[in-house]
Amino acid sequence: MKQTQSDKHTIAWFKIADCVSRGEKERALGVYRLLSHSFNDHAVARQLEADIYLSFGEQELAVPLYLQAIELYQKSQRFLEAVALCEHLLTMNDSDLIVRREAIKLHNMLGNPPKIHEHVRKSLDLILMTGHDHQVQEFLSVLRGYSDELYEYGVEYIQK
């Protein structure tokens, strides 16, 4: 019985891919809705739904679903999946400071200093372009919440 269930899931995944490749959005979403009832993983379900919308060029519908998936991944302690989605969202909108802050938090949890520093630099560049000093101070406060070292890195970057 378990093999039959797995075969049905595999067929459903391929059916979704087939519908997407043929440009059949409503059919793809219909198959997704049927498949999602058998998921035990709400984060993957949200991500798949977002992927379907994005594949049809509907970024405005995909982004909130990706954000839900990030939240669900974090709740289930799957930080690598969450940060991967943050990076994906940043490829779509490089100036999204909210997602960039989330990426900093997640990379910090995963112990990835090069990516943390990259996102800190890009965030500060974006904030400094707007000329809002209060945002700089707020961002530095967020960094201090992670570590004094990260705060110092941000201060040194601003002074350069």
Question: What average pLDDT does range 78-102 have in this prediction?
Answer: 97
For 111, the enclosing helix (H) or strand (E) is none
Cβ neighbours of 57 (radius 10 Å): 10
User: Are residues 110 and 63 part of one domain?
Assistant: no
Whether the pLDDT of residue 103 is over 60: the answer is yes
AA identity, residue 83: V
AA identity, residue 12: A
Report pLDDT for 11. 75
| Residue 37: CATH number of its domain | 1.25.40
Whether the pLDDT of residue 110 is over 50: the answer is yes
Question: What average pLDDT does range 110-129 have in this prediction?
Answer: 96
User: Are residues 151 and 126 part of one domain?
Assistant: yes
Whether the pLDDT of residue 95 is over 90: the answer is yes
CA dist., res. 28 & res. 34, Å (int) = 10
Q: List the Cα angle 72/56/14 in 5-degree steps.
A: 75
Provide the domain limits for residue 136.
94-160
Domain presence at residue 147: yes
Whether the pLDDT of residue 20 is over 60: the answer is yes
